[in-house]
Amino acid sequence: MKRSILALGVAALLTTAGLGTANAVNCKQVNKYLETGRSVSDIAETMVISEDDVKKCQAEKAAAPATPPAGGTKTAPAGTEEKK
């Protein structure tokens, strides 16, 4: 009896935890759409999210510092020159 109650409680917990993450907005995808010139309402309709969620992603991107491209810059070690 105790095991079945425990199993039922665990199942309920896992179900509610899964529902909480199902509504997460993929801001990376939203920002890609924004970069292509799509409107906020168009993105919201396409991704089935609210316009407020799109605007939140837009605001987060504007507030975030610009990141350098992956890989950084390559420089030659000191004392070596490229021969032409």
pTM of this structure:
0.52
- List the chain pLDDT tens, one digit each, 84 residues: 777 775 666 666 665 555 454 569 999 999 999 999 999 999 999 999 999 999 999 999 999 877 666 666 666 666 666 666
Does 43 reside within a domain?
yes
Does 68 reside within a domain?
no
Residue numbers of the domain that contains 37: 31-62
Q: Is 54 exposed, middle or buried (0-12, 13-18, 19+ CB in 10 A)?
A: buried
Does 36 reside within a domain?
yes
Q: Check residue 25 and give its pLDDT.
A: 94
Number of folded domains that form the chain: 1
Does 57 reside within a domain?
yes
